[in-house]
Amino acid sequence: MAGHSKWANIKHRKGAQDAKRGKVFTKLIREITTAARQGPDPNANPRLRTAILAARAQNMGKDTIEKAVKRGSGNTDGMEFTEMRYEGYGPGGVAMIVDTLTDNTNRTVANVRHLFTKFGGSLGTSGCVSFMFDRKGVIAYEKVDEDELMEAALEAGAEDVEEAGDDAFEVITDPDDFETIHSALQEAGFTSPTSAEVTMRPQNSTTLDAGKAETMLKLMDALEDDDDVQHVHANFDIPDEVMEALSA
């Protein structure tokens, strides 16, 4: 059976990002701008360092990153964004966390609630599902040698290396070790991750049938399409045969 990470973190996200690269950049810029409020020097600002790593993994240009840092650190007028986290349940009882950065919290909560309701889910109270997730660093690669990656990752202090599809792997790290391990892997020759971020990983997953899976995908797409939504974390699993049927 397909693992959650295999499906949700790689295939879906990659497809969505290719189709919505502009939107992905907007979200990354918003995160850099917000992180830079705590100081423009990435060496002294771990959140900014992580945001820049994530942007580079998406091939964002140096100029774009520098402009976002300047805007956030107050060198130019920038909008103030508020961070809000929403938790709830998707179709089939899937646990979901939606992280947002917004200049209008009323608009954002209304939009998020509307989408949950539209696709058969429900918003819950703060903390209702977050205990089912662990905060982890995840560095994803495609078309690399598994043994070489495993050796380099474990030597650098990674917690695990997981298979995430055909010739695709995810290096799992403690959030505090994320940047050190990312740098060590770069030095070991793994210079082009498909993504690099600190994220919320589910401890277990809910397997969906074709009907629920299709609705779940629509909910994920609709949420990720919202400008205020930065990240959507969910603990669903779609078996390969269901995925193939939906893709057909």
pLDDT at 7 over 80: no
Q: Can you tell me the distance from the alpha carbon of 230 to that of 31, in angstroms, rounded to the nearest whole number?
A: 8
Q: What is the pTM of this model?
A: 0.82
Confidence (pLDDT) at 242: 85
Confidence (pLDDT) at 6: 42
Which 3 state secondary structure label does DSSP give 196? strand
Q: Number of helices (H) and strands (E), helices first, in the chain?
A: 10, 10
DSSP code at position 206: E
Q: Can you tell me the distance from the alpha carbon of 4 to that of 122, in angstroms, rounded to the nearest whole number?
A: 21
Asked if 221 and 185 sit in the same domain, the reply is no
CATH no. for residue 52? Answer: 1.10.10.200
Asked if 87 and 32 sit in the same domain, the reply is no
Asked if 56 and 32 sit in the same domain, the reply is yes
Asked if 147 and 47 sit in the same domain, the reply is no
CATH no. for residue 197? Answer: 3.30.70.980
Any domain includes 77: no
**Higher confidence at residue 130 or residue 15?**
130
Q: Can you tell me the distance from the alpha carbon of 233 to that of 200, in angstroms, rounded to the nearest whole number?
A: 6
Which residues form the domain of 90? 82-131+204-247
Residue 145's contacts (CB-CB under 8 Å, 6 or more residues apart) are none
pLDDT in tens, 11-60: 454 555 455 667 888 899 999 999 999 899 999 998 999 999 889 888 89
Any domain includes 157: yes
Asked if 101 and 197 sit in the same domain, the reply is no
Any domain includes 121: yes
Of the candidates 24, 49, 72, which is a domain's last residue? 72
Written as six digits, the tokens of 247 are 């893709």
The dihedral through the CA atoms of 165, 119, 199, 68 has a sign that is positive
Residue 96's DSSP bridge partners are 88, 234
Whether 34 contacts 45, CB under 8 Å: no
Q: Can you tell me the distance from the alpha carbon of 172 to that of 150, in angstroms, rounded to the nearest whole number?
A: 11
* Owner of token pair 């809910």: 206
**Higher confidence at residue 151 or residue 77?**
151
pLDDT in tens, 131-147: 999 999 999 999 999 99
pLDDT at 185 over 80: yes
Confidence (pLDDT) at 232: 93
Residue 136's DSSP bridge partners are 199
Number of domains in the chain: 3
Asked if 64 and 154 sit in the same domain, the reply is no
Q: Is 16 left (phi over 0), alpha (psi -120 to 50) or beta?
A: alpha
Written as six digits, the tokens of 85 are 């986290």
Q: How far apart are the first and last CA of the chain?
A: 18
Asked if 59 and 153 sit in the same domain, the reply is no
pLDDT in tens, 72-109: 887 555 568 899 999 999 999 999 999 999 999 999 99
pLDDT in tens, 205-225: 999 999 999 999 999 999 999
